[in-house]
Amino acid sequence: MKVFVIGLDCADPRLVFEKFKDVTPNLRRLWENGIYGEMRTIIPPITIPAWMCMATGKDPGTLGLYGFRHRKGNSYGDIWIANSTKIKEPTVWDLAGKHGRRTILVGFPPTYPPRPIHGLMVTDFITPDINSRWTWPPHLRKEIMNLVGEYRFDVVFRTDEKDAVLRELYDMTEKRFRVIKHLLKKKWDLFWFVEIGVDRIHHAFWKYTDPEHHLYEPGNPYESTIEDYYRYLDARIGEVLDMLDDDTAVIVVSDHGAKRMKGCFLINEWLIREGYLKLKRYPESVSRLKPEDVDWDNTVAWGWGGYYARVFLNVKGREERGAVDPKDYESVREEIAEKLRRVRGPNGEEWKTQVLKPEEVYPVVRGDPPDLMVFFDDLYWRSAGTVGWNTLYLRENDKGPDDAVHDWNGIFILHNPQNPVRRRVKIDIRDVAPTILDLLGVPVPEDMQGGVVKWKE
């Protein structure tokens, strides 16, 4: 049996299974005649590491990936960006390849820079540009450019130029599916593509389509934008499904869900007010937190922004100019965590905030983790790391327009023409890898943290 996996970054179960079910007949046909439901994503619910957790059946602690960027060692300013060279755990395509199964990957994060696989690869949205190495084997690059011209890996979506976003988004998706249909004609056992456009349309247009969003304006020209894209995407998916035979199981997955963003909480402004972060001088205008502006000798902690906050303690003997005695590390960390759990919203409303310690979340903690992971108000509020605002709350993102945040549940659909089991399920993102291997007839390693979704009676 072959396995064809459709990855829709950020697709939300409330949209796919409910709100847009009448405009996505091809997806609906799959889930109404298969196994489907919500898929609990990983902590943190971010594109990187979520997709690679899905492909390895391992958590972020095992992978040593906690987001796109990471501190380099215990540096104040040096960072490294997640990429394929940081993936040390075997993926489903690695394991399938050892058993002679050929894989084709298109847009799977993070596969840049491309690494040799038993099959073909087109890298993902972190690829710098078309002048980079972005295919395996290398000569595939020319074949694709002859097919579609300038291939797009991503679009700029945090901008007010919404018409330009839409033009580039549709161009990107159209070219992606032309490449997919072209590669489908080659030999493969596992084909897995990820379309990042779903994520981008959510972040760029959610406030225009959701009446509950605090920035929604009735009658705006983009009210149907997200629905229109889902309809268009479903049509492209239908064209691809028509190319598959009855010996192919189809899986549809997303790495996390989506919902409206209520605002940004300024983590470093809060740390300054609480006395944990000391600046040499408070900035006169909004700026990122620069290491050279921090009074490290008197700083206890600082933070990073993003869809969740990463808080780092400044520990003697660990950081260059640490201020926290190692014997006080745990008591200080817990003090900050408890205060963060009590943070309320701008109108005094109670938040559902989670503050987690990596070693309490993951059995193994590798790489360069934060000391605390903070998810404000069940993810409704982003974290912002910039300073100079003289407030703790922003109505919009501090790094450009962004209307949506991630949510804990993605989608899972498994349609197997040979075993048309109909069932609604709730699964874990780490269950996908062992299920794919089982469908391919490849042994599932014992150290995978997920289990096989029962796909036949």
Tell me the pLDDT of the chain averaged across its residues.
97
Tokens of 374: 């903070």
The domain segmentation of the chain, as residue ranges, is 2-259+406-440, 263-401
pTM to 2 decimal places:
0.97
At a CB cut-off of 8 Å and minimum separation 6, what does 302 contact? 268, 271, 276, 277, 289, 294, 311, 312, 314
Beta bridge partners, 194, equal 7
Topology (CATH level 3) of domain 2-259+406-440: Alkaline Phosphatase, subunit A (3.40.720)
Mean pLDDT of 310-320: 98
- The percentage of the chain sitting over the pLDDT mark of 90, rounded to a whole number, equals 98
pLDDT in tens, 132-163: 999 999 999 999 999 999 999 999 999 999 99
Mean pLDDT of 296-302: 98
Q: Residue 418 — very low, low, confident or very high, per pLDDT cuts 50/70/90?
A: confident
* The pLDDT of residue 457: 72
